[in-house]
């Protein structure tokens, strides 16, 4: 990737195993990672450690105590926020990622509140069969990170 890596931000993640798997995916794609707290588990949870395996040691994980703290950091850094959401206006395949983008996924149980939708510069969806609601958040994050990495490696 270019000067600044893509970042995956997890908004108040609920499930330790999903979080560990998403962070492992970040390590594999060379993406940065951020967790916006509170999380629905403690970081010493064995399911979190098992899903992330030793890949967690290859990754710096920024932890933000709240969305407001994350937003203040993001704005200081001048990074664009792309929210991955079933209600997105643009398909993932049509979205043009830029180095340093922050791709955010919501809580497994509730997504993100309206204030987060409003803060995002882009709301991106993964097109799936119309009769189905959504992918698992970890699978969706992996699909989106792979597409972002593909795009950024071609420039």
The 10s digit of each residue's pLDDT in 72-121 is 999 999 999 999 999 999 999 999 999 999 999 999 889 999 999 999 99
Both structure tokens of 97: 């990622």
Distance, C-alpha 95 to centroid of its chain:
15
> What does the pLDDT look like over 26-66, one tens digit per residue?
999 999 999 999 988 777 767 766 766 777 888 888 999 99
Both tokens of 54, joined, read 């030793």
Per-domain boundaries in the chain: 7-153
Q: Rounded to an integer, what distance in angstroms lies between the CA atom of residue 66 and that of residue 58?
A: 24
CATH code at 7-153: 3.40.1280.10
């Amino acid at each position: 990737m270019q000067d600044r890596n893509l970042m995956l931000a997890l908004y108040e993640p609920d499930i330790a195993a999903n979080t560990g798997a998403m962070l492992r995916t970040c390590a594999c794609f060379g993406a940065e990672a951020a967790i916006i707290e509170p999380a629905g588990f403690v970081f010493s949870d064995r399911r979190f450690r098992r899903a992330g395996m030793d890949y967690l040691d290859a990754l710096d994980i920024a932890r933000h105590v709240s969305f407001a703290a994350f937003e203040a950091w993001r704005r200081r850094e001048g990074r664009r926020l792309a929210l991955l959401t079933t209600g997105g206006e643009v398909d993932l395949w049509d979205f043009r990622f830029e180095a340093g983008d922050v791709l955010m996924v919501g809580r497994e149980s509730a997504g993100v509140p309206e204030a987060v939708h409003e803060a995002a510069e882009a709301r991106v969806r993964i097109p799936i069969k119309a009769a189905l609601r959504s992918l698992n958040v970890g699978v969706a994050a992996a699909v989106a990170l792979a597409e972002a990495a593909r795009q950024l490696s071609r420039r």
